[in-house]
Amino acid sequence: MPDKINAYLVQGGNSLKGEVLVSGAKNAATKQLVAALLSDEPVILHNVPQIGDVSATIEMLEGLGVKVTVDGSTVTVDPRTLNTSQVSEALSRKNRIPVLLMGPLIHRFGEASIPALGGCKIGPRPIDIHLAGLEKMGAEVSEGDGYYKAKCKKLKAAMIELRFPSVMATETLILAAAKAKGTTVITNAAVEPEILDTAKLLQSMGAIINLETNRTWVIQGVERLGGAEHSVIPDRIEAASFGIAAALTKGSIFVRDARQDDLLSFLNAIRRVGVPFKVEKDGILFGHADEYHPVVLETDTHPGFMTDWQQPFVMLLTQAKGVSIVHETIFEDRFGYTEALVKMGANIQLHSDCLGSKECRFKHQNFLHSCIISGPTPLKSADICIPDLRAGFSYLLAALMADGESRVTGVELIERGYADIIGKLQTLGAKINVE
Ligand code: EPZ
Exposed e or buried b per residue across 91-118, where buried means at least 16 C-beta atoms within 10 angstroms of its C-beta? bbbebbbbbbbbbbbbbbeebbbbbebb
Atom number in ligand 1 closest to CA 308: 8
**Among 211, 231, 251, which residue terminates a domain?**
231
Yes or no: say if 10 and 44 are a contact pair by the CB < 8 Å rule: no
Residues of the domain holding 209: 26-231
Strand ranges (E), 26-182: 43-46, 67-71, 74-78, 111-115, 140-144, 147-151, 159-161
Q: What is the per-residue pLDDT across 311-333, written as a single tens digit (0 to 9) for each?
A: 999 999 999 999 999 999 999 99
By annotation, the residues acting in catalysis are: 120
**Backbone torsion region of residue 275, taken as left when φ is above 0, otherwise alpha when ψ lies between -120 and 50, otherwise beta:** beta
Atom number in ligand 1 closest to CA 97: 15
- Residue 245 confidence (pLDDT): 98
Q: Which helix (H) or strand (E) holds 295?
A: none
- pTM of this prediction exceeds 0.85: yes
117 in the same domain as 158: yes
With a 6 Å cutoff on the Cβ, whether 21 touches ligand 1 is no
- To 10 degrees, the CA torsion angle through 47, 50, 51, 57? 80
285 domain-assigned: yes
**Among 199, 231, 263, which residue terminates a domain?**
231
pLDDT grade for 1, boundaries at 50, 70 and 90: low
**Alpha helices, DSSP H, located in 221-362:** 236-248, 260-273, 310-317, 338-343
Pocket test for ligand 1, best of 330, 335, 363 (most atoms within 8 A of CB): 330
With a 6 Å cutoff on the Cβ, whether 166 touches ligand 1 is yes
With a 6 Å cutoff on the Cβ, whether 307 touches ligand 1 is yes
206 domain-assigned: yes
427: CATH = 3.65.10.10
**Among 164, 198, 231, which residue terminates a domain?**
231
207 in the same domain as 133: yes
Pocket test for ligand 1, best of 101, 167, 186, 327 (most atoms within 8 A of CB): 167
Question: How many domains, in total, are found in the chain?
Answer: 2
pLDDT grade for 200, boundaries at 50, 70 and 90: very high
1 domain-assigned: no
205 in the same domain as 156: yes
- Residue 95 confidence (pLDDT): 78
Q: Residue 357 has what DSSP assignment?
A: S
53 in the same domain as 176: yes
155 in the same domain as 243: no
- Residue 321 confidence (pLDDT): 98
The size of the chain, in residues, is 435
150 domain-assigned: yes
Question: Does the structure show a pLDDT above 80 at 93?
Answer: no
- Residue 125 confidence (pLDDT): 81
159 in the same domain as 129: yes
Averaged pLDDT, 59-81? 97
DSSP bridge partners of 299: 305
Cα of 311 from ligand 1 centre, angstroms: 16
Averaged pLDDT, 178-189? 98
189 in the same domain as 117: yes
156 in the same domain as 294: no
Q: What is the per-residue pLDDT across 327-368, written as a single tens digit (0 to 9) for each?
A: 999 999 999 999 999 999 999 999 999 998 889 999 999 999
With a 6 Å cutoff on the Cβ, whether 125 touches ligand 1 is yes
Yes or no: say if 186 and 177 are a contact pair by the CB < 8 Å rule: yes
With a 6 Å cutoff on the Cβ, whether 167 touches ligand 1 is yes
Q: Which helix (H) or strand (E) holds 33?
A: helix 26-35
